Amino acid sequence: MSRIRAYPDRRVAGLHLGEQLREREWHDPLVLGLARGGVVVAHAVAEVLGAPLDVAVARKIGAPGHPEFGVGAITARGEATYDERTLAALGLRPDDLAEACETERAEARRREAVYLGGRSPQPRADRDVLLIDDGLATGVTARAAAHAVREAKPRSLAFAAPVCAPEAAMNLKSDVDEVVCLLMPDEFRAVGQWYGNFDQTTDDEVVELLGSKS
C-alpha cells in the first residue's frame, strides 16, 4: 500500500475541494455531506462556497457473515441499491439480504433523526445539489444517496470527493450529472490511505457541524 498521504485531514481536503468547486457557477447551491465523514469535508466546501449545508445518510449493506464487505446500500426511504456484479459473484439475490437491508434502513432513519434534530431537511428542488463524501471506494453508498436526492428533483446533482477510485468514479457517472474528484490514483486501495488523520467521525461531530451552518 502506498505511503502517500495527500491530505492531513478531512477539513483540509474539503477546503481544497471547495476551491475547485468555486471555479464553477452553481444555481442556488446546496451542499450535502454523506454521513458521517463526508460531513466534515462538506462543511469546509460549504464554507468556501458560502452555501448552506445539510446531510445525506446512506448505510452499507454487508454480505452475509461479512458485514464489512459492502454489496449494497440503503437510505431511510426508497429501494436499496446493489452492486449487481458483486451479488452475482457471491451468488446472492436481494431477497437474501432483506434482513440486513431493514436493519441498515432502521439505522439510517435513526441517524437522520439525530442529525436533523427535529428540523426539516433543506429543500433540494430546483437547485444545484453537491453531494460530498471524504472519498469514493466502491461507490455503492454514493449511488444510494444520489438516488434518494434525485427523488427531490434537484436542478442538477453533482458528486464530489477529494479522492476516488477511478472505476467507481466512472460507474457513478450514470447516477449523477457530474463527478468531481481531485485525485483518481491508479494505486487506490482505500480512502483512508490518502489521509494523515482518518479518525472516525462521531454523531456528535456531525450534529455540531450541521448546527454551525444552520
**Is the domain 10-57+120-212 a CATH 2.40.37.10 member?**
no
Amino acid letter, 90: L
pLDDT of res. 64: 85
pLDDT band at 4 (very low <50, low <70, confident <90, very high): low
pLDDT band at 120 (very low <50, low <70, confident <90, very high): very high
Lowest mean pLDDT among 41-55, 67-81, 137-151: 67-81
Averaged over 139-166, what is the pLDDT? 96
Q: Where are the domains of the chain?
A: 10-57+120-212
Contact 115, 58 (CB under 8 A): no
pLDDT band at 214 (very low <50, low <70, confident <90, very high): low
User: Helical H runs in the chain?
Assistant: 10-22, 37-49, 84-90, 98-116, 140-150, 166-172, 203-212
154-200 pLDDT, tens digit per residue, is 999 999 999 999 999 999 999 999 999 999 999 898 999 999 999 99
Distances (CA, A) of 52 to 24, 70, 97, 180, 182: 17, 30, 36, 19, 22
pLDDT band at 145 (very low <50, low <70, confident <90, very high): very high
Contact 55, 108 (CB under 8 A): no
Place of cell 452499507: 60
Q: What does the radius of gyration of the chain's CA atoms come to, in whole angstroms?
A: 16
Percent of the chain with pLDDT over 90: 85
pLDDT of res. 2: 43
Q: What is the pTM assigned to this prediction?
A: 0.93
pLDDT of res. 67: 77
- Is residue 1 scored above 50 in pLDDT? no
